[in-house]
Amino acid sequence: MTPADLEQVFGDPTAPDALLTHHAILAADRRRELVPDAESALTHWGFGAEFVPASLGGRWVSSEDLVRRILPVFRRDPALGLGQGVTSLMAAVNVWVAGDERVRHDVAAALIGGERIATGFHELAHGNDLLGNECAATLGPDGWTITGRKEVINNIDRAESALLFVHTGGEPSARAFSLLHWRKDRTGSGAADTGYRFETAGMRGCQIGAVTFDRLVVGADRFVGEPGAAVSTALRAFQVTRAVLPALTNGALDSATRLALDYARRRDLYGSTVWQLPHARHLLVRAWGALLVSDALARAGVRLLHRHPDETFLATAAAKYLAPALMNAGMADLSTLFGSSFYAVEDEYGIFEKWLRDLIVVPIGHAGSVACLLSLVPGLPTWARRVARGGSYDGAVFDGRGELGELDFGALGLGVGRQDSLVIALQDKAITEAVRSEQPALVPILELWQGELTAVLSGVRELAPNELGSDVSPRAMELARRAAGLMAAGAVLGTWFEGRDDPASPFAATGDALAVALLRVTELLSHVPVAGLGDGGPERPATWPQEVCDRAARAVERTVDAGLCLGTEQGPISWKRPSAFTTEREQRD
């Protein structure tokens, strides 16, 4: 049975009688809580079942459908999405990748029953350096004895169980760590203290805490995967969350853009509205561009999990690095548009400031941006050889209308894919021809990116082997950043190409959407010159043409006025119908 649309369950967030309003979210945020009624509603709706594969009794088949169903949460409150559910997803994917039948069914039943699972990986002293982790478990006659501390763990206090990344023996190496599923109701001697709570600037409603283990004993059968398999398991499993998380958090930028448009159209300044100012329209269009690029990349990453899982070790690292950065850049543009209203946290627009605080956490949390770039680096030489060799274009990677079957978690690897299905869009003759015939003004930008591809491949060939390990060189990091940019540009082109005849695509709705997305992604080409790489890349194209901004601004207005969301897939949402706003304005005038 198809679950109810959460847009309908939550209702219009600006209407006082809705289940989840901006007002309630802000009030809960001030109390450092999630909105209790919304949490209950999500449990009742079956949030946990979303994260359980259908073959284990849950609702998860297509990961893109999962994103679609949960987006209404993130459009309203990213902290609710993360704190109520997605942290459980982070734990669960490890179980789907490596758990045996018993633990898979155990975890599936827990999630479907409404339980939470904390993801106990992080130790503050070691950041994203998994091999530095110190929390340890030793095997004794009664089971595993855990000693140490895990920090900045969402829901560690209230979750019924947690997945722990622990050192289980030997010198720190990729085979020295294991995953243990700690059920709080099934432990032996010893103790665990989960009472500490971290105070955070963003995601305030999330209960982010720590656990200190004092010789806590858990059963010898609580392994998830083989002993020593934790690093390999996590590096595979987190590809799923690295893809899904940016696709979800884009929902908050979508809402923020809609809110900013509402503000700009209402706010009087210099004898007119803010919306009449070309600079204000440019800011909003630029934010929309960031959303289009971020969403094209994130959604393509989600589809790749199904279509080409051999490619997702690199592609999802690129998505988790670049999409949140674009998202935050978009939020920064919108905060400029709000001006002083951004600082006065008033009810009507105060939610913007909360979203901004929440989204700042996204690049840091769960595979930090730098860690994601570092994941790209060792694969660069192989990636460059295979990109140069070419491959076959797969339109389904960019088309939201395709059917995606259940994920094959066993197919997620740690290598470089056989090809790069995102970058291929830049090399594809049919796409180049379509740009030439349908968007001739954009040919110089396309050629700029094709030149960038050649330059990056050439730069990668010059890298020495010892620049690629843990002691990565600055120029290797820069090339990883540029490779991520190429994947984003490819995702934009492919999503445009496939979306032109899709009624739900902004690329079908307006010819200017491609210009906006390409102009925005091309801003990534402002390379810092790096020694040995010449000027670091081609020159950037001209600034944003005013007429493109004006037409794009009207396209955003039309989309919002039609009651549709603003990402790469324009579906109906519950938000104050702008027709009501127009009437209100007409009455006032």
Partner 1 sequence: MTDIRSDEVSGDTLREWLRERVAAYGDVPAGGVDVDAQLTDLGLDSVYALTLCGDIEDTFGIDLDPSVIWDHGTIRELADALAGMPASNQ
Note whether 131 binds partner 1 by CB under 8 A.
yes
Beta bridge mates, 283: none
The correct pick among 245, 372, 468, 533 for binding partner 1 (CB under 8 A) is 468
Note whether 413 binds partner 1 by CB under 8 A.
yes
Contact yes or no for 283/333 (Cβ under 8 A) = yes
What is the DSSP annotation of 158-173?
T-SEEEEEEE-SSSSS
CB of 153: closest distance to partner 1 in angstroms?
25
Note whether 175 binds partner 1 by CB under 8 A.
yes
Residue type, 20: L
CB nearer to partner 1: pick between 208 and 487:
487
CB nearer to partner 1: pick between 180 and 463:
463
Q: Which range, of 105-113, 336-344, 465-473, 544-552, touches partner 1 by CB under 8 A?
A: 465-473
- Longest CA–CA separation in the chain, Å: 80
* Distance in angstroms (rounded) separating the CA atoms of residues 571 and 18: 20
Query: Closest Cα partner for 6 from 54, 66, 62?
Result: 66
Cα–Cα separations (whole angstroms), residue 265 to 272, 274, 284? 9, 6, 12
CB nearer to partner 1: pick between 113 and 415:
415
Note whether 465 binds partner 1 by CB under 8 A.
yes
Cα–Cα separations (whole angstroms), residue 445 to 75, 439, 483, 542, 562? 32, 11, 17, 10, 31
The correct pick among 63, 88, 154, 232 for binding partner 1 (CB under 8 A) is 232
Note whether 339 binds partner 1 by CB under 8 A.
no
Note whether 378 binds partner 1 by CB under 8 A.
yes
Return the DSSP state at 6: H
Note whether 401 binds partner 1 by CB under 8 A.
no
CB of 421: closest distance to partner 1 in angstroms?
14
Q: Is 136 exposed, middle or buried (0-12, 13-18, 19+ CB in 10 A)?
A: middle
Note whether 469 binds partner 1 by CB under 8 A.
yes
Q: Which range, of 74-82, 258-266, 449-457, 464-472, touches partner 1 by CB under 8 A?
A: 464-472
CB of 414: closest distance to partner 1 in angstroms?
5
The correct pick among 334, 374, 509, 533 for binding partner 1 (CB under 8 A) is 374
Q: Which range, of 118-126, 172-180, 248-256, 451-459, touches partner 1 by CB under 8 A?
A: 172-180
Note whether 473 binds partner 1 by CB under 8 A.
no
The correct pick among 340, 392, 466, 543 for binding partner 1 (CB under 8 A) is 466
Whose structure tokens read 């909360």? 354
Query: Closest Cα partner for 90 from 179, 184, 185?
Result: 179
Note whether 388 binds partner 1 by CB under 8 A.
no
Residue type, 167: H
Pull the structure tokens for residue 542. Answer: 């001209």
H or E element: which one contains 44? helix 36-45
CB of 424: closest distance to partner 1 in angstroms?
15
* Distance in angstroms (rounded) separating the CA atoms of residues 349 and 445: 36
CB of 298: closest distance to partner 1 in angstroms?
23
Whose structure tokens read 């305030």? 204
Note whether 340 binds partner 1 by CB under 8 A.
no
3-state secondary structure of 301: helix
Beta bridge mates, 222: none
Note whether 484 binds partner 1 by CB under 8 A.
no
CB of 324: closest distance to partner 1 in angstroms?
23
CB nearer to partner 1: pick between 340 and 466:
466
Contact yes or no for 283/337 (Cβ under 8 A) = yes
CB nearer to partner 1: pick between 2 and 466:
466
Task: Name 241's Cβ contacts closer than 8 Å, sequence gap at least 6.
Answer: 86, 89, 90, 93, 366, 367
* Binding interface with partner 1 (CB under 8 A): 131, 171, 173-175, 231-232, 374, 377-383, 385-386, 413-416, 418, 465-466, 468-470
